[in-house]
Structure 1
């Protein structure tokens, strides 16, 4: 899920129209007619296999057996195509269980699910954040995060900022995870041991001396995601308890 963020040149109305457009049309002979959905799904397949740099309108047209001009009748341009690809590849969030878990467990499940989406489609974390979410799937992910946050005792004005922070933190770590070189990650501790001066980096040196700064985990950042999110949720719980105590004292 993209967080609200940087400005960009993408026409938001055109993106929203494309993202909410109906699915494939079919020709009279039953064949799937060229449509926005078919174009987007072909583009996702290319990005999954070769990365975002391999994507172009011409490449998608070639895969589908059409001309580039035929694609432009359904998709205004590459910016809108990438925005639609993001929504389609993100998919729907996991269906809530019944009865719903605690707000904390629900957020933890949300984080695990969106983390898996990013690892399954690494190109997603390289898509520029030109706007807040506008597509049906991304809005569904936002709603799935706002729900448990609203039950966590946060003020209404805090919900969007907190959701933006959580989604942004997961996205940032997912980008690092998809870019890390496992061999370099495994050698990191040894490299630091040769160069880090305890006088200049006392805390870093002490951590390395105790347990080793980086374990040979191939650069897996999943534990970092869980650790950081647990501490964040601890803080939300502490804030909720403090506010509850203050209300009882008034």
Structure 2
């Protein structure tokens, strides 16, 4: 059995995320906890956006003084770190004997996307390093477990999961940073491309425009879910081809 790590030896952010930060506070047991503060901040961001989140607003929501929050969370940066991990909640369970890594990773990928989309502000929080919080690591572990019945090395499993995460994060970013993907947006974009794309300078892009890729008929519904499914299947096809190549050479 591994020994409990010494909080003094852990980076501040790791100790905070795992509830291992040592406290020198004396007196009655505090009525406020890090979990209380994090939940209040997440609820506030869900309701009003990330810009509304401040230590003072969260304290007000909890009916406490701002100083009471600082006894548990030292800064807004720490609060954002806690929020980013809390937003992911718990990953989905897979059947105990699941050997279909593709089906499991499809469930996992859709779960990550859904969790992030429930909190539109998540993408606005800067990423400062690899996943280290309890929820992030639970998702990471669940993805790695889908390769348990393959011959992949441990480092290969990590690289494949990270590649899939890059696709998911790209989808999240596009979905939050660009306008709602409606028919009018696609039509306007196609019209703009048609006006500026010179077939002599941008021949491949001109072929896309001429093929009507960005032309939407009146009343046609643009479903961004189709793009997500297509891209996800392409990524999973690549992972499948890599696994087949590795197992063929084993």
Q: Which residue of the partner structure matches residue 190 of structure 1?
A: 191
What aligned pairs does 1:1-250 form with structure 2 within 5 A after superposition? 13-21=11-19, 33-100=31-98, 102-182=100-180, 183-213=184-214, 215=216, 221-247=224-250
Contact 1:125/1:175 (<8 A) preserved: yes
Q: TM-score, normalised by structure 1?
A: 0.81
Q: Whole-Å Cα distance in 1 between the matches of residues 110 and 215 of structure 2?
A: 22
Q: How large is the RMSD of aligned CA atoms in angstroms?
A: 2.3
Q: Which residue of the partner structure matches residue 25 of structure 1?
A: none
- Mind listing any 5+ residue stretches in structure 2 that lack a counterpart? 1-9, 21-29
- Mind listing any 5+ residue stretches in structure 1 that lack a counterpart? 1-11, 23-31
Name the CA shift for 1:214/1:57 in 2 (closer, same or farther; >3 Å).
farther
Secondary structure of 2:199's counterpart equals coil
Secondary structure of 2:11's counterpart equals helix
Query: CA shift at 1:214, angstroms?
Result: 6.2
Q: TM-score, normalised by structure 2?
A: 0.81
Q: Whole-Å Cα distance in 1 between the matches of residues 228 and 103 of structure 2?
A: 15
Contact 1:92/1:141 (<8 A) preserved: yes
- Indicate the structure whose relative CO is greater, using CA pairs within 8 Å and at least 6 residues apart: 1
Secondary structure of 1:66's counterpart equals coil
Contact 1:125/1:172 (<8 A) preserved: no
Q: Whole-Å Cα distance in 2 between the matches of residues 201 and 153 of structure 1?
A: 44
Instruction: State how many pairs are aligned.
Output: 226
Q: Whole-Å Cα distance in 2 between the matches of residues 98 and 81 of structure 1?
A: 35
